Amino acid sequence: MTKPENISSGLEWGNNLLAIRWNHIFGKRLFTNTTFYTSKYDYYLHTNYEAKNSWNSNLTGSALKSECTWYLTPRQTVKFGFSLGGYFFNPGNLTIADSLVSTHRISQANSAELIF
Protein backbone atom coordinates (compact mmCIF):
# COMPACT_ATOMS: atom_id res chain seq x y z
CA MET A 1 0.00 0.00 0.00
CA THR A 2 1.46 3.36 -0.98
CA LYS A 3 0.78 6.66 0.68
CA PRO A 4 -0.72 9.32 -1.60
CA GLU A 5 1.44 12.41 -1.95
CA ASN A 6 -1.24 14.95 -1.00
CA ILE A 7 -2.02 13.68 2.51
CA SER A 8 -1.00 15.86 5.41
CA SER A 9 -2.16 16.56 8.93
CA GLY A 10 -0.98 18.63 11.81
CA LEU A 11 -1.56 20.01 15.25
CA GLU A 12 -0.56 23.56 16.05
CA TRP A 13 -0.92 25.52 19.26
CA GLY A 14 0.52 28.64 20.79
CA ASN A 15 0.07 31.42 23.29
CA ASN A 16 0.59 35.16 22.91
CA LEU A 17 1.00 37.25 26.04
CA LEU A 18 1.37 40.96 26.69
CA ALA A 19 1.93 42.37 30.18
CA ILE A 20 2.48 45.96 31.29
CA ARG A 21 3.43 46.77 34.88
CA TRP A 22 3.61 50.17 36.60
CA ASN A 23 4.96 50.77 40.10
CA HIS A 24 4.53 54.13 41.80
CA ILE A 25 5.40 55.62 45.18
CA PHE A 26 2.84 58.28 46.10
CA GLY A 27 4.68 59.33 49.24
CA LYS A 28 6.58 57.92 52.20
CA ARG A 29 3.67 55.70 53.19
CA LEU A 30 1.74 54.72 50.03
CA PHE A 31 3.00 52.43 47.27
CA THR A 32 1.06 50.95 44.32
CA ASN A 33 1.72 48.24 41.78
CA THR A 34 -0.60 48.09 38.72
CA THR A 35 -0.52 45.38 36.05
CA PHE A 36 -2.45 44.95 32.80
CA TYR A 37 -2.16 41.71 30.87
CA THR A 38 -3.80 39.99 27.95
CA SER A 39 -3.27 36.48 26.66
CA LYS A 40 -4.56 34.41 23.74
CA TYR A 41 -4.13 30.65 23.46
CA ASP A 42 -4.85 29.06 20.06
CA TYR A 43 -5.32 25.40 19.14
CA TYR A 44 -5.49 24.28 15.51
CA LEU A 45 -5.91 20.78 14.08
CA HIS A 46 -5.92 20.19 10.32
CA THR A 47 -5.98 17.31 7.88
CA ASN A 48 -5.75 17.10 4.14
CA TYR A 49 -6.99 13.63 3.24
CA GLU A 50 -9.39 13.61 0.28
CA ALA A 51 -10.64 17.00 1.53
CA LYS A 52 -9.19 19.80 3.59
CA ASN A 53 -10.66 19.82 7.12
CA SER A 54 -9.70 21.91 10.13
CA TRP A 55 -10.64 22.52 13.75
CA ASN A 56 -9.60 25.59 15.70
CA SER A 57 -10.37 26.95 19.13
CA ASN A 58 -9.00 29.68 21.37
CA LEU A 59 -9.11 31.16 24.83
CA THR A 60 -8.52 34.88 25.38
CA GLY A 61 -8.19 36.62 28.71
CA SER A 62 -7.43 40.17 29.84
CA ALA A 63 -7.15 41.69 33.29
CA LEU A 64 -6.28 44.87 35.15
CA LYS A 65 -4.92 44.41 38.66
CA SER A 66 -3.85 47.04 41.18
CA GLU A 67 -2.39 46.46 44.64
CA CYS A 68 -1.67 49.20 47.16
CA THR A 69 0.39 49.09 50.33
CA TRP A 70 -0.14 51.76 52.98
CA TYR A 71 2.42 51.91 55.78
CA LEU A 72 0.57 53.40 58.77
CA THR A 73 3.46 52.86 61.19
CA PRO A 74 6.60 50.72 60.99
CA ARG A 75 4.58 47.88 62.58
CA GLN A 76 1.20 48.41 60.88
CA THR A 77 0.61 47.87 57.17
CA VAL A 78 -2.66 47.95 55.21
CA LYS A 79 -2.84 46.20 51.83
CA PHE A 80 -5.75 46.67 49.44
CA GLY A 81 -6.51 46.50 45.75
CA PHE A 82 -8.69 45.12 43.00
CA SER A 83 -8.61 42.86 39.97
CA LEU A 84 -10.95 43.09 36.99
CA GLY A 85 -10.76 40.42 34.29
CA GLY A 86 -12.59 39.07 31.29
CA TYR A 87 -12.33 35.70 29.57
CA PHE A 88 -13.59 34.67 26.15
CA PHE A 89 -13.69 30.99 25.17
CA ASN A 90 -14.25 29.80 21.61
CA PRO A 91 -14.56 26.01 22.02
CA GLY A 92 -14.28 25.32 18.34
CA ASN A 93 -14.95 25.96 14.70
CA LEU A 94 -14.97 22.94 12.41
CA THR A 95 -14.41 23.52 8.71
CA ILE A 96 -15.18 20.62 6.39
CA ALA A 97 -14.44 20.88 2.69
CA ASP A 98 -16.95 19.45 0.21
CA SER A 99 -19.80 19.64 2.71
CA LEU A 100 -23.23 21.28 2.43
CA VAL A 101 -22.46 23.26 5.58
CA SER A 102 -18.80 24.17 5.32
CA THR A 103 -18.32 25.60 8.82
CA HIS A 104 -19.77 24.38 12.10
CA ARG A 105 -19.44 26.76 15.04
CA ILE A 106 -19.85 25.90 18.70
CA SER A 107 -21.33 28.68 20.83
CA GLN A 108 -18.78 30.91 22.50
CA ALA A 109 -18.70 31.48 26.25
CA ASN A 110 -17.65 34.63 28.10
CA SER A 111 -17.04 35.36 31.75
CA ALA A 112 -15.95 38.27 33.91
CA GLU A 113 -14.51 38.56 37.39
CA LEU A 114 -14.18 41.42 39.84
CA ILE A 115 -12.13 40.95 42.99
CA PHE A 116 -11.59 43.43 45.82
Q: Rounded mean pLDDT of 78-96?
A: 93
- Closest CA relative to residue 94, chosen from 52, 60, 66: 52
pLDDT digits (tens, 9 = 90+) for 28-75: 999 999 999 999 999 998 888 767 788 899 999 999 999 999 999 989
pTM for the complete prediction? 0.73
Report residue 2's pLDDT band, with 50, 70 and 90 as the boundaries. Answer: low
